[in-house]
Amino acid sequence: MEKKLPTIEIIEKYCKGCHICVEFCPTKVLEMQGFVAAVKNLEACIKCMQCELRCPDFAIKVTP
Amino acid sequence: MAFDYDKYLRPNKLPHIWCPGCGHGIVMKGLIRAIDTLGLEKNNTAIVSGIGCASRLPGYLDFCTLHTAHGRAAAFATGIKMAKPEMNVILVGGDGDGTAIGGNHFIHACRRNINMTYIIMNNNIYGMTGGQFSPCTPTGAKASTTTYGNPDPAFDIAKLAIGAGATFVARGTAYHANQIDKLIVEAVQHKGFSVVEILDDCPTTYGRRNKFKSVIEMMNRLKEVTVPIKAAEKMSPEQLQGKILTGVLFKEERPEYTAEYAKVIERSKGAK
Amino acid sequence: MAKKVAFMQGNEAAAQGALYAGCTFFGGYPITPSTEVAEVMSIELPKINGKFIQMEDEIGAMASIIGASLTGAKVLTSTSGPGLSLKQELIGYACIAETPCVIINVMRGGPSTGMPTGPSQSDVMCAKWGTHGDHAAICLVPASVQELFEETVRAFNLAEKYRMPVMIMPDEIIAHMRERIVFPEPGELEVINRTAPSVPPEQYKPYDTKFGDVPPLAAFGSGYRFHVTGLNKAEDGFPTTKAALVQAEEERQVRKVDANIDDIVTFEEYMLADAEVVIVAFGSTSRSARFAVNEARKAGIKAGMFRIKTFWPFPDKQIKALAGKVKAFITPEMNLGMCTGEVKRCAEGKVPVVGIFRVDGEPINPGQILDKIKEVK
């Protein structure tokens, strides 16, 4: 069965570029693209939600 | 679906004022999730704060919100709760606001055991004024007013709350984000004065002066230095040296203040 | 039915006045010589399902009443000099957040701990200038037990009508003396309640000037959600640093009193029609002044008294008018010239203003005033 990919929405105007989501993602799904966070490898996402939970800026929405 | 924070946020107030990496935003999200879990009615919930970075939190939330004066949140909130005990009252603020200038109001709210929840964001510093040492700055640490190292010993907020009579005391951290809402839910459900301390080091005015290279390093410190209270039970005093306990640290049942005052009202009616 | 008459202490009468006005919340901290107000409220409020709380300090007491006021309650605190100094922080908060509340400050000697059981009239400037920043002030200075009751009712009316803190400042003599008091029947004195919002919650703004200089204040828990802050705020209650908004809001908060001075200022004119020497007095000192005026009249001196009942806003208009007619003002007061300075300002140099000052914990006696009348006539 094909794995259903989550959607990770990054609201760029809220992102303050703190790196928390990138650094603490256990499967390195995210990266910094310039000042803001971006999705690099969605396939690796294990839907742990830690990036959304730890984003202080309401800038990440993960729909598993 | 992703959790819908917008449902509880006032429109057009984001981005918030907090610096990149500041944990206050993580705490605010935890509080929102807790409110959602608890199903608190917006019209019947007051969120009260003092002054400082953390105290800006109520302005973002779509409830009855009161941004009071420095240190006074607990006293204003006590007035609200006494006048309308049916309202849910949640206090938010920082360590300096709550334990220095607001220390007296804090300990007496604990003593009365009035049914409110106080979320103290402990970032070890006065952030908004640029990083002066607070009662929670570790001894020896650098702040803008302790250039040669902080000579003051620090408060343990949880012990202070327990000693003063709070009947529910918990501690979490910004790193352990998924625990924050659970602690707040339990605190609000507890009948009495509940205190939830959330450690969220200030990256801008504390970290920078104390050789933390980044907020990531500060978050990692929170991970390394803390021990869940359940795990601590199995650890030796040596292993616990320098560790900070997290989780529900204290819980007891004791008469709640507004309920006791309701009895005063009853007794007064029998009086001449 | 005959009216209820009692022999009552001033502080007790103030508490009764608060209850008459519909006060349902008292937050206080014990301090001489005001404590009886708190004691009576602690006994009476629970009987009417009201709330009394003794807070941990004076600031906490002030905070608690502002919090309670935001839930829609009519609220009171009582204090005296040192407590007033502490309360100033949050009196300023009540000013900027435009939260109705009443503060009874019984004037004792100062500064600092001063003379806790001695009378003074030295807090009247503190009523106006005690908290920092520009703000309006209303301060009432009753001169009898009956008037302390009635002025307490009026203080609540003004607080609710103008959405601001209102102070009543009896000196210790008025607060602790016992006199005959005739209680007004319910409905006999006007009781003003807060204006509730006329718009639905989604349109409500706590400082909406569409409704004039005193916008309606909703209550927490009544279906209206709004934000209250001590920062300079815009009409929606949220902080702002926009210059034009801050300027307009600050000016409005002062204007709401300035534009209604005739509604607020009260005074008594005693034998002023032909008076050449006019005593300007307030509180217990006015009782000595009345006696002195009577004695002076017996001696053929055209003396009279202008009794200040509302110290702030100051009765500028009335004193200015008198200054054009009389030969001299005499200003007896239990401080070192606070009212005197205001009268001098209003007299604009047209006539001499001669003070009689006592700060030794003793009242100014009629003889002192009579001597001064004879000296300046």
Query: Is the Cβ–Cβ distance between B132 and B143 less than 8 Å?
Result: yes
Give the whole-angstrom CA distance, residue C377 versus residue C366: 16
Give the whole-angstrom CA distance, residue C167 versus residue C140: 6
pLDDT of C53 strictly over 90: yes
Nearest to B5 among A16, A50, A58 (CB): A58
Which residues are bridge partners to C330 per DSSP?
C279, C354
- Residue C203 has which token pair? 């349109």
- The alpha carbon dihedral of C199, C205, C208, C210 has a sign of negative
Query: Is the Cβ–Cβ distance between C189 and C153 less than 8 Å?
Result: yes
Q: Are residues C98 and C238 in the same domain?
A: no
Which residues are bridge partners to C25 per DSSP?
C51, C75
Give the whole-angstrom CA distance, residue B89 versus residue B69: 17
Interchain contact, B25 vs A57, CB within 8 Å: yes
Give the whole-angstrom CA distance, residue C241 versus residue C47: 46
- Residue B48 has which token pair? 């009260």
Give the whole-angstrom CA distance, residue B47 versus residue B90: 5
* Distance, C-alpha B246 to centroid of its chain: 13
DSSP labels for C284-329? HHHHHHHHHHHHHHHTT--EEEEEESEEES--HHHHHHHHTT-SEE
pLDDT of C1 strictly over 80: no
| C-alpha radius of gyration, chain A, whole number | 11
pLDDT of C245 strictly over 70: yes
Domains: count for chain C: 3
Nearest to B68 among C43, C223, C230 (CB): C230
Given C152, C182, C212, the domain boundary residue is: C182
Q: Are residues C341 and C248 in the same domain?
A: no
Interchain contact, C55 vs B75, CB within 8 Å: yes
What are the residue ranges spanned by the domains of chain B? 19-229+241-270
| Closest CA of chain B from A1, distance in Å | 22
| Closest CA of chain B from C51, distance in Å | 7
Top residue of C41, C51, C205, C222 to mutate, by most chain B CBs within 10 Å, is: C51
The answer to whether A12 contacts chain B (CB < 8 Å) is no
The answer to whether A28 contacts chain B (CB < 8 Å) is no
Give the whole-angstrom CA distance, residue C206 versus residue C235: 7
Q: Are residues C36 and C146 in the same domain?
A: yes
Q: Are residues C357 and C371 in the same domain?
A: yes
Query: Is the Cβ–Cβ distance between C125 and C314 less than 8 Å?
Result: no
The answer to whether B15 contacts chain A (CB < 8 Å) is yes
CA angle B236, B242, B244 (to 5 degrees): 90
**C131 in any annotated domain:** yes
More confident residue, C3 or C85: C85
C→B contacts (Cβ < 8 Å), by residue, are 24-25, 27, 43, 46-47, 49, 51, 53, 55-57, 59-61, 63-73, 75, 89-90, 93, 201, 220-231, 238-239
Q: Are residues C15 and C158 in the same domain?
A: yes
Q: What is the pLDDT along chain B (272 residues), one digit of tens a residue?
A: 789 999 999 999 999 999 999 999 999 999 999 999 999 999 999 999 999 999 999 999 999 999 999 999 999 999 999 999 999 999 999 999 999 999 999 999 999 999 999 999 999 999 999 999 999 999 999 999 999 999 999 999 999 999 999 999 999 999 999 999 999 999 999 999 999 999 999 999 999 999 999 999 999 999 999 999 999 999 999 999 999 999 999 999 999 999 999 999 999 998 76
User: What is the CATH class of B19-229+241-270?
Assistant: alpha beta
Give the whole-angstrom CA distance, residue B218 versus residue B202: 9
**C194 in any annotated domain:** no
Confidence label for C171 from pLDDT (cuts 50, 70 and 90): very high
Interchain contact, C63 vs B72, CB within 8 Å: yes
Q: Are residues C56 and C148 in the same domain?
A: yes
Q: Closest chain B residue to C94 measured between Cα atoms?
A: B68
Confidence label for A3 from pLDDT (cuts 50, 70 and 90): confident
Measured between beta carbons, which residues in chain C are less than 8 angstroms from residue B268?
Answer: 43, 46-47
Give the whole-angstrom CA distance, residue C348 versus residue B201: 60
**C193 in any annotated domain:** no
Give the whole-angstrom CA distance, residue B91 versus residue B73: 7
Given C262, C286, C314, the domain boundary residue is: C262
Q: What is the per-residue pLDDT across C354-371, written as a single tens digit (0 to 9) for each? A: 999 999 999 999 999 999
Q: To the nearest whole number, what is the mean pLDDT of chain C?
A: 97
**C191 in any annotated domain:** no
Nearest to A18 among B3, B20, B29 (CB): B20
Q: Are residues C57 and C117 in the same domain?
A: yes
Give the whole-angstrom CA distance, residue C271 versus residue C302: 8
CATH number at residue C51: 3.40.50.970
ipTM exceeding 0.90, yes/no: yes
Nearest to B261 among C51, C63, C89 (CB): C51
Interchain contact, B72 vs C43, CB within 8 Å: no
**C92 in any annotated domain:** yes
Q: Are residues C110 and C240 in the same domain?
A: no
Phi and psi (nearest 5°) for C10? -55, -50
Across C304-333, average pLDDT: 98
Give the whole-angstrom CA distance, residue C41 versus residue C54: 11
DSSP labels for A46-61? ----HHHHH-TTS-EE
Please, which residues have CB within 8 angstroms of residue A31's CB and are 6 or more apart in sequence?
A22, A37, A38, A40
Answer whether A touches B (≥3 Cβ pairs < 8 Å).
yes
Alpha-helix residue ranges (DSSP H) falling in chain B: 24-38, 73-83, 95-96, 103-112, 157-164, 177-189, 215-225, 229-232, 237-240, 257-270
Interchain contact, B25 vs A24, CB within 8 Å: no
- The alpha carbon dihedral of B209, B210, B211, B214 has a sign of negative
- The alpha carbon dihedral of C142, C146, C149, C153 has a sign of negative
Nearest to B105 among C60, C66, C73 (CB): C60
- Residue B4 has which token pair? 């819908």
The answer to whether B5 contacts chain A (CB < 8 Å) is yes
CA distance from start to end of chain A: 17
Phi and psi (nearest 5°) for C90? -95, -15
Counting as contact any 3 or more CB pairs under 8 A, the partners of B are A, C
Measured between beta carbons, which residues in chain A are less than 8 angstroms from residue B177?
Answer: 50, 53-54
Q: What is the per-residue pLDDT across C94-138, written as a single tens digit (0 to 9) for each? A: 999 999 999 999 999 999 999 999 999 999 999 999 999 999 999
| Chain B with chain C: Cβ pairs closer than 8 A | 139
Q: Are residues C141 and C33 in the same domain?
A: yes
| Closest CA of chain C from B55, distance in Å | 11
Q: Are residues C25 and C171 in the same domain?
A: yes
H/E stretch holding C215 reads none
Q: Are residues C26 and C78 in the same domain?
A: yes
Query: Is the Cβ–Cβ distance between C334 and C364 less than 8 Å?
Result: yes
**C33 in any annotated domain:** yes
* CA distance to B155, C18, C230, C316, per residue, from B49 (Å): 20, 30, 11, 41
Which residues are bridge partners to C229 per DSSP?
B67
- The alpha carbon dihedral of C230, C234, C237, C238 has a sign of negative
Indicate left, alpha or beta for B105 from its phi (over 0: left) and psi (-120 to 50: alpha). Answer: alpha
Range of the domain at C238: 201-262
Mapping DSSP to helix (H, G, I), strand (E, B) and coil, where does residue A20 land?
helix
More confident residue, C195 or A3: C195
**Burial (0-12, 13-18, 19+ Cβ within 10 Å), C5:** exposed
Given C242, C262, C282, the domain boundary residue is: C262
pLDDT of C238 strictly over 60: yes
Q: What is the per-residue pLDDT across C264-289, written as a single tens digit (0 to 9) for each? A: 999 999 999 999 999 999 999 999 99
* CA distance to C128, C173, C260, C329, C364, per residue, from C343 (Å): 15, 23, 21, 8, 18
How crowded is the C-beta side of C71, counted as CA atoms within 13 Å? Answer: 29
Which residues are bridge partners to C103 per DSSP?
C77, C167
Which residues are bridge partners to C168 per DSSP?
C104, C140
Peptide bond into C116 cis (omega under 30): no
Query: Is the Cβ–Cβ distance between B90 and B31 less than 8 Å?
Result: yes
Answer whether C touches A (≥3 Cβ pairs < 8 Å).
no
Which residues are bridge partners to C109 per DSSP?
C115
Peptide bond into B15 cis (omega under 30): yes
